[in-house]
Structure formats: C-alpha cells, structure tokens
Structure 1
Amino acid sequence: MSEFDVLSKAMKAHINNIVESSQDLFLVDASPDELWTLYLKSFPPGTDPIFRTKTDHDCSSCRHFMRSFGNVVIIKNNVVTSIWDFADTLPSGSKYIPVVRALSNYIRNRKIIGPFVTDTPNIGVEKDHEKSESGTIITWEHMHIRLPGRFVNGTRQTLDQTRGKIRDQRNVFKRSLDEISDDAIASVLELIGQNSLYRGEEWKSVLESFQKHKVAYNKLGEEAKELYAWEQSRSAGPVIGKIRNHSIGVLLVDISKGMDLDEAVRRYESIVAPTNYKRPKAIFTKKMLEDAEKTITELGYLDSLERRHAILDDITVNNILFADRNVAPQLKGGSVFSEMASEVVTNPKKFDRVEEVPIDKFVSEILPAAQSIQVLLENRHQSNMVSLIAPKNSNSATMFKWSNGFSWAYSGNITDSMKMRVKALGG
C-alpha cells in the first residue's frame, strides 16, 4: 500500500466518522487557490519530487477535490472540526502529517460563510489510469469521498438557491435569538397560559422550543453564538428558524423593543384576528403585577387602592366650593332626602330667559356671592351623573393631583355621547 493510499484511507475514515452524526456540512471562507498552494508548500523538503514538469502531488484531480471540498467543516456542540483533523491517525513519520496539520490550522481559523450542498455524492475521482511511453499502465490515486445522500441537493432548486435558503434561515434564526428578549418570551407564554392571546395556543410548543434555544444561546460567547446559529438553525425547523417573520415573532420583537404590552398585543391581533374580534380578558402578566405592586408600595399608595362609595360623613365643608347654610349642618350626619321630598317638580321652560355662563365664570364670579343654589336636572344630564368614590382608609395618601382622596365614576363608566349612542343601539 502506497503512502498516499494510507493518507486517502485515513482521510475517508475521518470524514465518514464526522459526517455520520452530522446533518449539515459547512464552508469556511478559505480561498481554494491559497488552500492548494498551502498543500503543495507544506511537504517536507525532498518529499514531493518533480515528476515530468510538476511535483508529484501537483495533480488536477486532487486540486479539483480541494476546490470542491477542501474548505468543508462540521459543527458539533459549538466545536468546529475540519476534514483535515486526522493527522494523529497517520503513521508516525509520515510526510503527510505536517501537510494535514497545516491545512487543518488554516481551515479552523477561518469564518463559516454558508452550508455545503452538492449535486453529486462523489467528490473527486478515486483513481485513474495512464499508459506510459513504455506501454505499461500507471494507476494514479487521488483524493476522493462519497457522501451520504442527505448532503446532495434533492430539490429542483439550484445549488445557489438551496444554499441561500439555508443561509437565510440561519440569519433570521440568529437575529431572533439576538433581538427577542427572555422577558418577551416569558410574557407571551404567560398570556397563552391565561388564554389571553388570540390563537396563542397554536404557538405554545414553538415558543417553548425557541425558549430552550434562547437559554442555551445566552450562555455562549460571541464566537460560539455564531456557531450555534449555524448548527441549530436547520434542526430547529423553518418555523422556529424564522420565528421573527411570523405573527408571533412580530409580537415578541415589539415587546422586546419596549412597546407597551397592550399595544403590542393589539398589533398582533390586527394581523391574526378578524375585524370583529373582541379580546376576552385584559392583558397583563404576573411580572407586570409584581412590578406594579412594588412601585405602588414604594410610593406609599398600597393602602390607597381600596375604594368605596362615599357617604355623607366623608364630606366636610373644606371639600366643597359652596355650602348652603340650611344644608351645611347635614354634612356631618342627617339626611337631605327629607328636604328633597318637599320640593315640587320644576318646569324647565321658566328658565328659558336665564343667561348661560361657562363653568369657570360661574365658579369664580357667581358662586362666591350666592346665598343658595338649586340644581335643575334634565334627562339629557343622565350620562353626566357620577358616583363619588372615597378611600376605604381615610388616612391613606391621595393618589390624585388634588388635595383630597375623592374620585368619581360615571354611570356605567361611560359619558361620551358617541359611546352612549353605540350602547343605545346595542353595541
């Protein structure tokens, strides 16, 4: 067995071993001409003699193999292995050891630029024959490998189209891992668990798988992240691989960019939900509740959240702009309903000639000089009726811009005329 035959068998054994458990092969940005020149120059002096006009190893068939397959690597657990990493399997003292090591070092220090795809399983020519001048047949051995069918392009697309498709999926996968935050994934999964996201259940398993990739990805350095994206993008599949291009990905990216959760979900719903879809639940997550509670506690408003309808005893003269002397004593007990019962129905037409003034003028100019005030309520004022709301804990801090703790609630929480019209029509 020739020394080259030993090299060829060792190389085939190594390549078959590394591709056995690999779904993908990759190319590095090595120049084929530089690789071939390095191969020829790495032989120890005197081990690559001249044959006719060229050195013994300056072979067009081996050069074709080098151009087609010399820059191929695999990635296993974020570790790169080249087809030349087999120097230790060669016999001690082999002239090919420094050659293989030089090629290995060159390839392993280059950047991965894309997937390897071929249109034939046979790379190179195993051997060919030549008739010498004396008439004898010379057999020439060359670098050759036969690859499993999974590395052969089985589609109608060109090699460039197939490579481009794989490369694009990898790039989108890495961009998704870089741009989608852990909090965004957790928030969306929580919304799905609450059944608060339209058709969210369809994405649950996809998100859980992507979350596992994200956790693993976050533990890596920058160089390892590049390798992870190449190694995992195809096995992750086209849905996870291009998750940011899907509707759920739009939601994840929006949340990751800091968009308000409710707004982000509305944008998602505008993509996937019918126009008449009405969200069944308010949008919030456990983390949002925890953050809100923490903020409210720090501001001293926790005791202020409990509210109830105000009663007459809650109101003091300091809380109102005007107090009729005949009614003021009742602000601390008693009932005003007996007074109201004695009133008769007033005809609104008797006030047709009364001047109407803006509320600001009424409060600043008329109210201070008034002796008594009467309120004329008409049906059109119904939507403006409010309930006065007071804090359950009277000593709690006020959450409002004004100095007291009172707030109000409109009847049905609706006061806008358009909303009232919609409601009246059954909307």
Structure 2
Amino acid sequence: MMEYSDFKFKKMQSQLQEYFDDYFSKEDFLFTLDCDIEDVWNLYLDSFPDEIKGIYHEKPWHDCQRCHLWFKTMANVVMIDDDYKIRTLFDFKTIPEYQDVFRALDEFLKTKRVENLFLHDKHSVGVFRSFAEYDGGFDENHHFYLDLPEKFYEDTENLASELGDALTQRQLFEDTLNLISPDAVDTVLELVHSNSLYRSIQWKDTLEGLKDVFEEFSQLDSNCDLNNWLWKKSANLPRNITHIKNTSMGTLLLDITGGMDLEQAVTNYEKITAPTNYQRPKAIYTAEMLEDAKSKIAELGYMDSLERRFAKLEDISINNVLFANRDVRTTLGEGIFDKLRKNVSRKVYNFDEVSEISLDEFITNVLPHAQEISLHMYPSLKNNFVSLIAPLNEDAPSMFQWDNPYSWTYENNITDSLMKERVKEMGGDVDVDLRFSIQWNDGEWDRNDLDAHSTEPDGNEIFFSRMKSKRTGGWLDVDIIHPEKGKTSVENIQYKHKENMIEGEYLFRVHQYTYRGGDNGFKAEIEFDDTIFSFDYPYKLSNKEYVDVAKVELKDGNFTLTSICDNKVHYLDHAVHWNVALGDFVPVSLICYSPNFWNDNEFGNKHIFFMLKDCINDTNPSGWFNEYLNNELRPHRKVMEAMSSMMRVEDTENQLSGVGFSLGKLGMNKITVKVKTNNIQRIWNVII
C-alpha cells in the first residue's frame, strides 16, 4: 500500500507542476485568498476515502508535516483569468485517487475573496522528496512541491513592504475610481492636449491610461467579481495611474469632480506645481465651453470679425491720424494738412542742437508743420514693436469695447524670442538682469543631455549639481536631462538682480554631459539691458565635451559682452528687426493713437503709435486680447483667448507696423526724432 500510494502521489505531483507551469507561471501576478489555511488542510485530509484516512495513525501518507507546511504557503494561491475569475492550484484534471479531493478544495477556495498579491522569499515551495527509515531500511517519500519563477520571488527584508505596497495600491486604485469622475479626466485631457497646464505633457500618458481604465470599468459585466478586477488591474497598472489620487494631478481631478470652477481648480494645481514666476501659456477651456462660445459668436454676428489681417494705410480715417509723411498723404487725402498749415505760424528750426520737449508739445507744436519725420531706432525699442490689426472682412462688426473693428498687438505681448518663450513655459525666470539660455532638440530627435554652465568671477560654477550661487544669486532654474521627442529642450541660468552680483567676467558655456546620438549642436542666448545676443553652434559635441560660448563683464554696474570664446560659435546679428535697421533713423509713415481712442472713443489705456516705413511684422501675432472684448463676449473669454492665439493674422502689403508707447505713465520713455519742415531738419528728444 505504501509503495502504491507514493507512486500515485508522484504522478499527481508531476501533474501539479505541469499545471502550474502552463497557467500560473505565465501570469505576471498571482494572488492569495483570505481564508484559514488550517481549514484548507483539514478539508484536504477529510476528503480522502475512509480506508485511506484510517491508516494515518500507522504511516503519515498524507498527514505529513512537510506537506502541511506547503499548504500554509501555497494552498490559497490563485490566478485571476481574463474573465476575472479565480483559478486555484487544484483546478485541473488529475489521477482518480486525488480528483475528488482536489475538487473539494477547489470549490471551497472559490468561495473566498482575494486579499493580496503572492510573493515568496524562496525560489521553490516545499520539499520534493525525503527519506525515512522503516523496519531497518529507507523509504523514499514525495511531498507537495513547486518550483517558482523569479518574478514571484522577493527577498525576506522587502517581502512585508512589497505586500503592504500592493495592498495600498489596490486601495488607492479603488478610491480613484470612486472619487474621480470620468468627465474630470476628459476635461483635464483637453487642457493637456491644448498645452494649457504647467508641464502637463508629462501627465498625458497617465491620463489617457486612466481614461481607458474608466471606459473598461464602465463596461464590466454585472456578474464580474469587482474585487478580482480591482486586484488584477491595480497589480498590472503603473503606479502613476493607481496612485494618481495622491498627486497634484489627483488634486486637480478631485477639485473638478467636486464641482469647483475650472479656472480655480487649475490655479490650485499650479500653486502646487508651478514656480512663482510661471505664466500659463494658453487659455483654459473645454469642448463644452467651445461650443457655447461658438453659438454666442454666431448669434451676435461676429463670425466675420474673427479672421484678422494686418491693417494698412487705406484703413485709417484721416480724422484719426496725427501725422502722415508726405509720400503717403495721397493715400489718406491731403486736404486736412493743407488747412492746418494755413492756420499755423511757420518757424525755422535749427539742426544745431537737440532740444527736449514733452509729447503734448510735440503733437501740438511740431507735428502740424512736419513734412517728414524719422525715428531713431534705439535697440531698446525692440520691446515696443507694434502692429495694427484689422478684420479680414472690412464690413465685419466690432467685437471690442470701442466702435471700430481695429486692434493692436505688441511683439512682447506675444513673444520676446522663441527660446525665451520656451524657457518661460518650462518655469524659468526671464524677467531678470542677466540670462543665459541654451536650446537643442528643435529638429530631429536629439536625446543628448546638454548642460548650461556659468563660471563666475571668483571661480564658482553654476551647473546641474550646484544649481544656485549664494554669493551672486545666480540660479539654474530649468534643467533638462531627457529630451522628449518632438519637444524642444532648453536650460536657463539667470541672475535676478545685478546688485547682488560680484563684478568681473562671467563665462557661459555648454557641456555635453551624455552623448546619445544627436549631432546638431545647440543654440544659445545671452540677455541683458533689454538686448538679446543670439549664438549658434551647429556641430556635433562629443561625450563630455565643453564649448565656451561667450563672456559677459559686470563693471561699475553695467554689463558688456566682452568676447565670443569659440570660433565655431556663430553670433547671430540682430541689427535688423521687423525689417527695420536698429541704430539708424527710420522714416515714420504715420503717427496715430490706439483705436480705443479714435473718433469719440475713450476706453482703457491710451497708446501712441509711430508706424515705420517698410516695417514688417514677421511673427504670428494675436488678433485681439481679452481686455479688448465687449461685455457680450467676456463670458467666453477663455475660448476667445485660445482662438486669438491660434488664428493666423493674414499678411498685407504696406502693413501698419512700427513702435508704440503706452501713455498710462507719461515720462517713462524718451525717443529721438528727426523732423523735416520746409527743407529744414531738426532733432528732438520727445519725452513720452
């Protein structure tokens, strides 16, 4: 009987290992049931026929200590199949002597609930065989035993922690499904796709994965065991999905689910994630808000007002022009100027000295006599470049608070430089006294890890492992390690206040920390005193190679670009901006106030524009800004802001572009103009 039983057991043991290898070993995760193992063990023993149970007192064929220990570890281990039903270790066809026993175990275990993952601190469970002495000899006995794949192994020190983490992950996942709504996920995904959240692209895959989970959750069959589904899904999902409730993004999703205003919810999110100087690049709106705005715009008849172009001379009424150069007066009609000249006394102005006058004096006393005016283009005026914008359809109604359909846009309301804008989007501070920015990965995917460095006059170096200088306040506030495909990479070193800096030379350079295959080099910018110096290094950098870009000296409180260090670094001359030569006198085509002060309008802040001959706006400006909109459209300001940034302003010949100045704070600007009257020229410094 003994030999017969061991032979049968060996057959069953082999079938068990084969069954485990065919099914359980192919799973990424196994689970344990919440049950009393002693109940399982007793059921195992009690399920044998009486003739077998009756001999336990003589020989422990089945009531074996080694098998008992195996049961304590493995009897409640299950897999969860694709239909989210549990499959036990005893759910297979075996030899007749064990089939009824295993069926009883299987039926009992399937009434229990999954409670955790299965992990073990050894690569096998049980003892395959042992030898016992009987009647002066030795018998070979086989026991319950399984070889385990490496994926189910965890060392003893970490075992309890890993199982605790799995339980937490399962609970957080259930909380996420109960506390966050699918609509909130859809709303935030819209914001991510429109790049309306700070560094939101890092959440794209997570949110799309969570959206898929919600869709699957909503389609579960009513007979599906939810606990099994939660365990299998939570084990297989990445932690960024299962733990999202406890993240900044989770806070945003919970706020939206709870009914908080979208703008406020996003503001709360950005308080957690964004630096203090961050400005959101795009408006916050959803598909529902877009449809509401579209309906309102159509209802008010503003569809034709949305498409915009650059304004031209023919658009401007003579009544709204303060000055027009004589070569453009035929376009405007010269009658008013003839009348003005007859009614004023003529003076002969000298070109010997530069006199300083106020803007009011300039408009009242100089403009009526002027035949030609030229503006001296100081480099600092780059921030004042402006364009007048008109509707593509000349008959389109005004969307604005004033009665004409014209708007204006300053270049620095849209972008200072593309690199500078990208630094701002990444949370870098660009409102500083000195800035060094680098850019790469703006074409083919360049995965190199480039680093910006600044070596200060005392030898201290700012870079990724020493990001702040206590002595100077210098700070590497944007650091990219792994460039993303299709997304330009930037780094930024900034000095907020020059008074905190030490005098001497600052060396700015680029280090190829890790070469990963990109061979297109980098671009760089140094900015101080409202002037941007741009550089290009279009060459491959070897691993660990340094490129010295340029040196800037701080002396007596003033910055100077003293040298370009590497002869391969190309300095990009920005002496021409918007087709206008900086540093020269440029003819003024016309002078006018901003459209919100044309005719009898007086809305908001007043500006004065000096439109320059052949000045061409080569950016993609906004067609309007929200502060211009009338009260009917202001409830839809988020959608209107997004539309303005997305819709291209059409090019026109003889566009009205130049430089402009806000008149809200008089005395803040000084310009130099050359005025020609009756063939006599004089230069004025005008305080604006």
TM-score (norm 2): 0.42
- Determine which structure has the larger helix proportion and give its number: 1
Asked if the contact 2:123/2:147 (under 8 Å) is kept, the reply is yes
Tell me how far apart the structure 2 counterparts of residues 113 and 123 of structure 1 sit (CA, whole Å).
20
SS in 2 for 1:128: strand
The one-letter code of the counterpart of 1:17 is D
Choose from 15, 27, 43 the match for 1:38.
43
Q: Which residues of 2 match residues 182-201 of structure 1 at below 5 A?
A: 182-201=182-201
Asked if the contact 2:121/2:156 (under 8 Å) is kept, the reply is no
Measured against aligned partners, the alpha-carbon deviations of 1:291-316 in whole angstroms (never above 9, x if no partner) come to 6778x79xxx945999x9xxxxxxxx
SS in 1 for 2:275: coil
Report whether the alignment pairs 1:104 with 2:106: yes
Tell me how far apart the structure 2 counterparts of residues 409 and 28 of structure 1 sit (CA, whole Å).
76
- 1:247 CA displacement: 1.4
- The aligned residue for residue 257 of structure 1 is 258
The one-letter code of the counterpart of 1:411 is G
- The aligned residue for residue 331 of structure 2 is none
Change in Cα spacing, 1:290 to 1:95, as seen in structure 2 (3 Å) is same
Tell me how far apart the structure 1 counterparts of residues 602 and 227 of structure 2 sit (CA, whole Å).
56
Report whether the alignment pairs 1:411 with 2:604: yes
The one-letter code of the counterpart of 2:65 is S
- The aligned residue for residue 209 of structure 2 is 209
- The aligned residue for residue 64 of structure 1 is 69
- The aligned residue for residue 165 of structure 2 is 165
SS in 1 for 2:288: helix
SS in 1 for 2:28: coil
The one-letter code of the counterpart of 1:254 is D
SS in 1 for 2:264: helix
Asked if the contact 1:62/1:143 (under 8 Å) is kept, the reply is yes
The one-letter code of the counterpart of 1:74 is M
Change in Cα spacing, 1:424 to 1:39, as seen in structure 2 (3 Å) is farther
The one-letter code of the counterpart of 2:24 is V
- The aligned residue for residue 148 of structure 2 is 147
The one-letter code of the counterpart of 1:106 is F
Change in Cα spacing, 1:193 to 1:388, as seen in structure 2 (3 Å) is closer
Change in Cα spacing, 1:30 to 1:219, as seen in structure 2 (3 Å) is same
Report whether the alignment pairs 1:79 with 2:272: no
Report whether the alignment pairs 1:125 with 2:127: yes
Tell me how far apart the structure 2 counterparts of residues 3 and 261 of structure 1 sit (CA, whole Å).
69
Tell me how far apart the structure 1 counterparts of residues 401 and 200 of structure 2 sit (CA, whole Å).
40
Change in Cα spacing, 1:156 to 1:280, as seen in structure 2 (3 Å) is same
- 1:104 CA displacement: 0.5
- The aligned residue for residue 5 of structure 1 is 10
Asked if the contact 1:44/1:95 (under 8 Å) is kept, the reply is no
SS in 2 for 1:275: coil
Tell me how far apart the structure 2 counterparts of residues 409 and 214 of structure 1 sit (CA, whole Å).
53
Q: Which residues of 2 match residues 199-238 of structure 1 at below 5 A?
A: 199-221=199-221, 223-238=224-239
Change in Cα spacing, 1:155 to 1:211, as seen in structure 2 (3 Å) is farther
Tell me how far apart the structure 1 counterparts of residues 217 and 191 of structure 2 sit (CA, whole Å).
24
SS in 2 for 1:252: helix
- 1:95 CA displacement: 2.5
Measured against aligned partners, the alpha-carbon deviations of 1:228-269 in whole angstroms (never above 9, x if no partner) come to 221122332221221222211211122122221111101110
Tell me how far apart the structure 1 counterparts of residues 286 and 126 of structure 2 sit (CA, whole Å).
59
Stretches of structure 2 that go unaligned for 5 or more consecutive residues are 1-5, 306-399, 404-600, 606-626, 629-663, 669-688
SS in 2 for 1:145: strand
SS in 2 for 1:95: helix
Change in Cα spacing, 1:409 to 1:244, as seen in structure 2 (3 Å) is farther
Tell me how far apart the structure 1 counterparts of residues 10 and 177 of structure 2 sit (CA, whole Å).
46
- 1:53 CA displacement: 5.0
Change in Cα spacing, 1:104 to 1:291, as seen in structure 2 (3 Å) is farther
Q: Which residues of 2 match residues 267-286 of structure 1 at below 5 A?
A: 267-286=268-287
Tell me how far apart the structure 2 counterparts of residues 409 and 290 of structure 1 sit (CA, whole Å).
33
TM-score (norm 1): 0.66
- 1:65 CA displacement: 0.6
SS in 2 for 1:46: helix
Asked if the contact 1:130/1:139 (under 8 Å) is kept, the reply is yes
Tell me how far apart the structure 2 counterparts of residues 410 and 279 of structure 1 sit (CA, whole Å).
27
Asked if the contact 2:191/2:197 (under 8 Å) is kept, the reply is yes
- The share of aligned pairs that are identical, in percent, is 32
Tell me how far apart the structure 2 counterparts of residues 100 and 409 of structure 1 sit (CA, whole Å).
90
C-alpha RMSD over aligned residues: 3.1
- 1:206 CA displacement: 1.7
The one-letter code of the counterpart of 1:264 is A
Tell me how far apart the structure 2 counterparts of residues 82 and 34 of structure 1 sit (CA, whole Å).
16
- 1:279 CA displacement: 2.1
- 1:286 CA displacement: 0.9
SS in 2 for 1:171: helix
- Determine which structure has the larger strand proportion and give its number: 2
Stretches of structure 1 that go unaligned for 5 or more consecutive residues are 309-386, 391-407, 415-422
- The aligned residue for residue 94 of structure 2 is 90
- The aligned residue for residue 176 of structure 1 is 176
- The aligned residue for residue 247 of structure 1 is 248
Tell me how far apart the structure 2 counterparts of residues 46 and 209 of structure 1 sit (CA, whole Å).
57
SS in 2 for 1:119: coil
Measured against aligned partners, the alpha-carbon deviations of 1:151-186 in whole angstroms (never above 9, x if no partner) come to 1104842x2111001221122122223322221111
SS in 2 for 1:139: strand
Tell me how far apart the structure 2 counterparts of residues 55 and 128 of structure 1 sit (CA, whole Å).
13
Change in Cα spacing, 1:388 to 1:175, as seen in structure 2 (3 Å) is closer
Measured against aligned partners, the alpha-carbon deviations of 1:194-228 in whole angstroms (never above 9, x if no partner) come to 11111111111221122222211221157533222
Asked if the contact 1:23/1:150 (under 8 Å) is kept, the reply is yes
- 1:150 CA displacement: 1.0
The one-letter code of the counterpart of 2:255 is D
Tell me how far apart the structure 2 counterparts of residues 148 and 43 of structure 1 sit (CA, whole Å).
31
- 1:54 CA displacement: 6.8
Tell me how far apart the structure 1 counterparts of residues 90 and 9 of structure 2 sit (CA, whole Å).
15
- 1:410 CA displacement: 5.9
The one-letter code of the counterpart of 2:242 is G
SS in 1 for 2:53: coil
Asked if the contact 1:192/1:204 (under 8 Å) is kept, the reply is yes
The one-letter code of the counterpart of 1:81 is R
Change in Cα spacing, 1:52 to 1:270, as seen in structure 2 (3 Å) is same
- The aligned residue for residue 491 of structure 2 is none
Tell me how far apart the structure 2 counterparts of residues 6 and 150 of structure 1 sit (CA, whole Å).
27
The one-letter code of the counterpart of 1:161 is S
Measured against aligned partners, the alpha-carbon deviations of 1:100-148 in whole angstroms (never above 9, x if no partner) come to 011111111210111111110111111111111x211122211010101
- 1:48 CA displacement: 3.0
Change in Cα spacing, 1:235 to 1:280, as seen in structure 2 (3 Å) is same
The one-letter code of the counterpart of 2:150 is G
The one-letter code of the counterpart of 2:41 is W
SS in 1 for 2:50: coil
* Max Rg structure: 1
Tell me how far apart the structure 1 counterparts of residues 229 and 164 of structure 2 sit (CA, whole Å).
18
Change in Cα spacing, 1:388 to 1:246, as seen in structure 2 (3 Å) is closer
